[in-house]
Structure 1
C-alpha cells in the first residue's frame, strides 16, 4: 500500500479513477474525496477530470467528445489538454501538499485511443514522455498518479449501463467490440504497473465497491 511518505509526487498525493464508460467509477469519486478530506483535514482535496480540468481543457473536452477528427489529432488534443492540466492544476496542487483526485488520466488515452481506436502505442509512449517527463535532482521520472483505481467490468455489462445515458458522447455511442479493446488495454496497463493500480471488480453492488475503496483509503 502506497502512503504519503512513499509518494513520488511528494508532498502531495495523486489518485486517478479509470474504467470503461459504464463501469461506475464516477459514482464513487465524490465519496472518496469526502472520506479523504475527513481523514486528512489539514490537506485540501482537489477534484478534477480529463479531458478537462482547466478552462482550455474543458473547451478541448467538448471538441474531443462531440466532434469527428483524425485519430492522431484526437490523441494530440488529449495530451495538449493534459499538459495544461498538469501545469495549472495538478502539479501546483501536489507541490502545495494537496490530494488530487482525477477522473481519468493518461491510462485513459492508452485505453481509448490506443486499445479502442488502434493508435500505435509507441506514439502514445512518446507523447507520454514528452508531456509528463520531469527532471529532479538529476533523475528523470514520469508524473503519474500514486494510486489508480481501475473499475473493471465486462463490456456487455457496461453497455447496459451506458444505454441509460440521455445524450451519449461519441465514445459512449460505440459498440461492445470497441469497449472490449479498451478494457483489455486498461488491464494490460494494470499488469505493467501493479504497484500503482488497484483493480476493482465493478460488477458488484455500489455498497460493496464503496467498502473496498474505503479499506484502501483508510491506509493512505
Structure 2
C-alpha cells in the first residue's frame, strides 16, 4: 500500500517543498477515549511558523484559510482537544505537539491506493450535514487526497470524509503527516516516532511501517 501512494506532479508544481511521512499501523486495538492521549506541549524545535506556511499553501489553490482552516490550525485554536477515540486522540495530540497536519484513515475502507491530486470537481466526497449523510464535490483545482471511490480529504488536510474515518472498530490505519518549508525534516521524522510510540501504548502488538516522500 505505502509504495503505491502517489503525489501528483500538479502538487509538485504548486508546492515543490511538500514532503509527507506516510505510516501504516496494522493490528490496532482501538477503543473509547480515556483522557490519556499524551502531552500537548510543543515539541523541541517547533517555532510556530508551520501554520502560516499552510495558510499560504491554501491561498495558492484559491482557498481562504480563515474560512477553511488547515487541520493543525483548527486544532491549535480549540484549546482542549476533542475526544474521539484512542487512536484519533493520539494523532491529534502529535499534530498539536509538532504543529503538523496529520490525517488518519481506516485502511480497510480504502478502494485502491491514496493519491494527492488537484480535483476535477466531479469526485464524490462523503460527509454529513445537519446529522444527515450527504455527498458533496470539491471545487475544480482544489487539492484533495483521494482513492478510486472518491475524495478522502478535501482542501489538502481540511476535512476528512466519513467513509474512511477511524472508528473504535478500526484495525488497520493509514496516517499522513504533511510538511512544508521551512519545517525541519528531522521534526517530521520525530513526529512519526512520537505517533508510533502512542500507537504502541494503545496496541502493543501493532505493526508500523513508514515511507517518506520528500522534495
TM-score by length of 2: 0.29
With the length of structure 1 as denominator, give the TM-score of the two structures: 0.29
Q: Which structure's residues are more often helix, by fraction?
A: 1
If each structure's strand is expressed as a fraction of its own residues, which one has the higher value?
2
More contact order relative to length (CA 8 Å, sep ≥ 6) = 2
Could you say which structure has the larger radius of gyration? 1
